[in-house]
Amino acid sequence: MLQGIRIVELASYVAGPGACGILADWGAEVIKVEPPAGDPFRQFFGSIGLEDAENRVFDNDNRGKRSVALDLTNVDDAEVLRRLVATADVFVTNTRPASLDRLGLGWEQLKAIKPDLIFANFTGYGSAGPEADKPGFDITAFWARSGLCSLGTVKGGDPAQLRTGIGDHMAAMGLVAGIMGALFHRQRTGEGQKLETSLLRMGIYAASCEHAIQLQMNKLASTKARPEAVNPLNNFFKTADDQWFVMVPRQGSGDWPRIARAIGQPALLEDARFTGVRDRRANGPALVALLDQAFGAMTWAEVQTALEAEKLIFGPVQSVAQATRDPQALAAGCYVDAPAADGSAIRLPATPIDFERHTPSARLAPALNADGDAIRAELGLAASN
Q: What is the structure's pLDDT at 252?
A: 67
Q: What is the structure's pLDDT at 98?
A: 83
138-160, pLDDT tens digit by residue?
999 999 999 999 999 999 999 99
Q: What is the structure's pLDDT at 171?
A: 95
82-121, pLDDT tens digit by residue?
999 999 999 999 988 888 888 889 999 999 999 999 999 9
More confident residue, 53 or 382: 382
Chosen domain end from 269, 290, 319: 319
Q: What is the structure's pLDDT at 343?
A: 87
Residue 342 banded pLDDT, cuts 50, 70, 90: confident
Evaluate whether residue 95 is within a structural domain. yes
Q: Which of 40-44, 72-76, 89-93 has the highest mean pLDDT?
A: 89-93
Taking residues 187-212, report their average pLDDT.
97
Evaluate whether residue 385 is within a structural domain. no
Evaluate whether residue 92 is within a structural domain. yes
Q: What is the structure's pLDDT at 106?
A: 92
Taking residues 212-217, report their average pLDDT.
96
Evaluate whether residue 325 is within a structural domain. no
Q: What is the structure's pLDDT at 119?
A: 98
Evaluate whether residue 346 is within a structural domain. yes
Measured over all CA atoms, what is the biggest interatomic distance in the chain, rounded to whole angstroms? 84
Q: How many domains does the chain have?
A: 2
Judgement on whether residues 361 and 239 belong to the same structural domain of the protein? no
- 109 within 8 A of 86, measured Cβ to Cβ: no
Q: Letter for the amino acid at 352?
A: P
Taking residues 10-19, report their average pLDDT.
96
Taking residues 220-249, report their average pLDDT.
95
Question: What percent of the chain shows pLDDT beyond 90?
Answer: 86
Distance between CA atoms of residues 136 and 125, nearest Å: 7
Judgement on whether residues 172 and 74 belong to the same structural domain of the protein? yes
Q: Which domain holds residue 252?
A: 226-319
Evaluate whether residue 143 is within a structural domain. yes
Q: What is the structure's pLDDT at 45?
A: 87
Rounded to two decimals, the pTM is: 0.92
Judgement on whether residues 15 and 160 belong to the same structural domain of the protein? yes
Evaluate whether residue 384 is within a structural domain. no
275-300, pLDDT tens digit by residue?
999 999 999 999 999 999 999 999 99
Torsion angle of C-alpha atoms 322, 325, 327, 332, degrees rounded to 10: 100
Q: Residue 357: which CATH number?
A: 3.40.50.10540
Judgement on whether residues 130 and 231 belong to the same structural domain of the protein? no
Judgement on whether residues 203 and 241 belong to the same structural domain of the protein? no
Judgement on whether residues 253 and 285 belong to the same structural domain of the protein? yes
Q: Residue 237: which CATH number?
A: 3.30.1540.10
Judgement on whether residues 54 and 117 belong to the same structural domain of the protein? yes
Evaluate whether residue 219 is within a structural domain. no
